Structure 1
């Protein structure tokens, strides 16, 4: 995700098919394989990952969507084919199908491609159906109202954190961010708050080494990162001091909706507006917010 500061401007922010018959194996699956069933005839729970045979065409379709989502501008057929390792002839057919279904849109020339409105609809549906997003809306509003600074709800997604919700700063100088974008977990307060919920061994398995540096302040050394996560565990909150964006300091705490936590809330402040007193008030407010979440945890089904 691209981040930065702005001055005087607003932040930019089919019906399911039937399972195949025994004589019609799924594309990419082992011939002759059949779906697992329960004694009553229904579908069995998904088995171990090791036993799963990915469907090649489905994988390629998702690769295209993810590549377009990660790009700030439309991409050409040649660019996508080169980046994804998909033959242009196969990719052309995929794109035509996805355009027809509304998942991809082409520009006026028909040569450059971006996400379509169907992707927006599905993303919005995810947020509307997400229990945590709804449950924490009031908490985010309270934090934003107290400080007038940018507030985020983030979720751990592999080695990254994805923004699920945000409240804008009231100040002209503020953090640039966008809902749905990913950032390396090790370079954000949100990510470090969530990584600290896990053991060092689990963190090492989760992250992609070597770690990228987003700024000259980003912690990328494994030993230094482990030491910082230990500090986060001791004090209960994480700090990103210009590690994600130059000039921005961010404070975050994991929210106890699941064990280990997968969601965290944060408040970001330009370093020029931060002093010792405001830092203490921010940390105290985050602690108060987490207490609210803990009290409301019973409202989240399955927590």
Structure 2
């Protein structure tokens, strides 16, 4: 990103961000100094100094022995500030509640970030829980309804996909570009995406792009266990989610003079 903007990266800042992202990605799995230094190709002494600085600032936490490290509470405060300060997220929240009340299923709001989507808000079904869908979770865009809805807004030669085979989450996940492109063509024709057990076995999803940005970066979806999915239920989900999409797009369109965040 820095190279694209013609800006030379500050080594210490790039290293700090890489460390925080690595720790955040490990969730509840603590890391040791040596493995962090090896993973980021940083001298052990430099990594130790960086970790201690971040511990003192609250961005990293350590255990009582000082040998294990994890993401700190400051990361939560920053993430919460991002959500609270985003006008689209604020505008969408009551309509996510409305969709949840109307359908009784799990409703998501997510944003495209490179080749992935990141969950910004979730309303869980009372019938089942999906730990994979927690706020802040990052999922490859090719693997589910939210991501496919957003990928379909882009031309096939502009898709932000990694090189090589795509990551499989289930036996139904697209791992080849050809099958994914065929699916995206159907999304464009249909107007919404369908995830049939591509991210989680036993769960189907329906994704709807929010077009208040061009190209769109946000989408909403409804997830439902396939055991409860009938033709009538699917039609009901599509009808409600289309209505919710229209309401969010109307309210969440950027106000004149608002920052164009990129």
Note whether the superposition's TM-score is higher than 0.5.
yes
In the alignment, what sits opposite 2:104? Answer: 148
- Greater relative contact order (CA < 8 Å, ≥ 6 in sequence): 1
CA 1:193–1:49: 2 relative to 1, 3 Å: same
In the alignment, what sits opposite 1:121? Answer: 77
In the alignment, what sits opposite 2:251? Answer: 296
In the alignment, what sits opposite 2:124? Answer: 168
| CA deviation after TM superposition for structure 1 residue 49, in Å | 2.4
8 Å CA contact 2:149–2:207 kept in 1: the answer is: yes
**In 2, Cα distance between the equivalents of 1:240 and 1:81?**
38
CA 1:207–1:47: 2 relative to 1, 3 Å: closer
CA radius of gyration, larger in: 1
| CA deviation after TM superposition for structure 1 residue 48, in Å | 7.2
**In 1, Cα distance between the equivalents of 2:5 and 2:93?**
38
**In 2, Cα distance between the equivalents of 1:48 and 1:66?**
20
In the alignment, what sits opposite 2:90? Answer: 134
Equivalences for residues 119-268 of structure 1 within 5 A: 119-171=75-127, 173-176=128-131, 177-203=133-159, 206-209=160-163, 210-268=165-223
| CA deviation after TM superposition for structure 1 residue 47, in Å | 9.3
8 Å CA contact 1:184–1:191 kept in 2: the answer is: yes
**In 1, Cα distance between the equivalents of 2:233 and 2:179?**
27
**In 2, Cα distance between the equivalents of 1:107 and 1:158?**
33
Equivalences for residues 52-67 of structure 1 within 5 A: 52-67=7-22
CA 1:148–1:47: 2 relative to 1, 3 Å: closer
In the alignment, what sits opposite 2:55? Answer: 99
**In 1, Cα distance between the equivalents of 2:79 and 2:222?**
24
| CA deviation after TM superposition for structure 1 residue 246, in Å | 0.6
**In 2, Cα distance between the equivalents of 1:86 and 1:51?**
25
Q: Of Structure 1 and Structure 2, which has the larger fraction of its residues in helix?
A: 2
| CA deviation after TM superposition for structure 1 residue 217, in Å | 0.4
Residues 132-191 of structure 1 deviation map (CA, whole Å, 9 limit, x = unaligned): 1101011100110011111110000000000000111111x3322211010000001000
In the alignment, what sits opposite 2:31? Answer: 75
In structure 2, stretches of 5+ residues that fail to align are: none
**In 2, Cα distance between the equivalents of 1:151 and 1:270?**
13
Alpha carbon RMSD of aligned pairs, Å?
1.6
Q: Quick one: which of 212, 225, 245 aligns to 1:270?
A: 225
Paired residues, what number? 255
8 Å CA contact 1:175–1:248 kept in 2: the answer is: no
- Structure 1: which 4+ aligned runs deviate by more than 3 Å? 297-303
**In 2, Cα distance between the equivalents of 1:163 and 1:103?**
22
**In 1, Cα distance between the equivalents of 2:98 and 2:107?**
10
In structure 1, stretches of 5+ residues that fail to align are: 1-45
